[in-house]
Amino acid sequence: MVDQLVSKVRTGKRQSLKASRLAFGSLMTKKWRTSTDPDITRINSDVMAGVLRLYHENFTEINDRMFTMYCRFFSETCYAFLDRGKVVGYCVFFVKPVFSYSHIYKTATLYSLAVDSEYRGHGIGERLLRKGIREMKLNSVSCISLYVSTENMPAIRLYRNLGFRILRELDDVCGPGLKCYEMDMKPGQNPV
């Protein structure tokens, strides 16, 4: 009984810490400076159903609540690629603060990226990521990180092309029993 209570309090504390970090990160995207790409829009309620369709088609570890929460908190850094009104790709970044002795830095994580299987190999994934990286640079985000399965060669090649480097290999982050790479890049040093 006491153990359960302690565990609940601990979980509650972790969740409220996470929520306050999210809220802080979201505040850091106010007055966000944008770049234009005529085919890319921000993820809003008009395109959410199409984005969720792609999310479900491409991933097995589904968490709709988390996904839509990131899209709502980080409306400035969640992008959808449209072809004649149809959502054919999306990428979702969230921004979080990193506190140092004298500064608060902005860092970002690529939370999810997918392109409709019928539209792959035409540069859509690259355009979505380039837009994100360009805006991170414009808004002084110091680092973008991501996790990718070590077997996902198309995605790894795409990330490498855009200047991401592998930091380390980890277990169970991309799904139970899966090995993945943690990768990162510094938008300020990238000629996007």
Ligand X SMILES: CC(C)(COP(=O)(O)OP(=O)(O)OC[C@H]1O[C@@H](n2cnc3c(N)ncnc32)[C@H](O)[C@@H]1OP(=O)(O)O)[C@@H](O)C(=O)NCCC(=O)NCCS
**What is the torsion angle, in degrees rounded to the nearest 10, for the CA atoms of residue 128, residue 134, residue 136 and residue 141?**
140
55-74: contacts with ligand X (CB under 6 A): 58
Question: What is the smallest separation between the CB atom of 160 and ligand X, expressed in angstroms?
Answer: 8
Question: What is the smallest separation between the CB atom of 153 and ligand X, expressed in angstroms?
Answer: 5
Q: In what order do the strands lie in the sheet with 179-185?
A: 40-42, 78-83, 86-99, 104-115, 141-149, 179-185, 165-171
- Which residue's CB is nearer to ligand X, number 28 or number 67? 67
Beta-bridge partner residues of 185? 144
Q: Of 40, 87, 108, 113, which one interacts with ligand X (CB under 6 A)?
A: 113
For residue 148, state whether it binds ligand X (rule: CB under 6 A). yes
Name the token pair of 172.
């169970």
- Which residue's CB is nearer to ligand X, number 91 or number 141? 91
Q: Of 82, 152, 166, 182, which one interacts with ligand X (CB under 6 A)?
A: 152
- Which residue's CB is nearer to ligand X, number 121 or number 177? 121
Task: List strand residue ranges (DSSP E) for the chain, in order.
Answer: 40-42, 78-83, 86-99, 104-115, 141-149, 165-171, 179-185
State the CB neighbour count (10 A cutoff) for residue 163: 18
Rounded alpha-carbon distances, angstroms, from residue 48 to 23, 42, 54, 64: 21, 10, 10, 11
**Binding string, residues 69-108; x marks residues near ligand X by CB under 6 A:** ----------------------------------------
- Stretch of residues binding ligand X (CB under 6 A), selected from 65-73, 99-107, 133-141, 147-155: 147-155
Question: What is the smallest separation between the CB atom of 155 and ligand X, expressed in angstroms?
Answer: 4
CA 4 to chain centre: 33
Residues lying near ligand X in the complex (CB under 6 A): 58, 113-115, 120-126, 148, 152-155, 157-158, 161
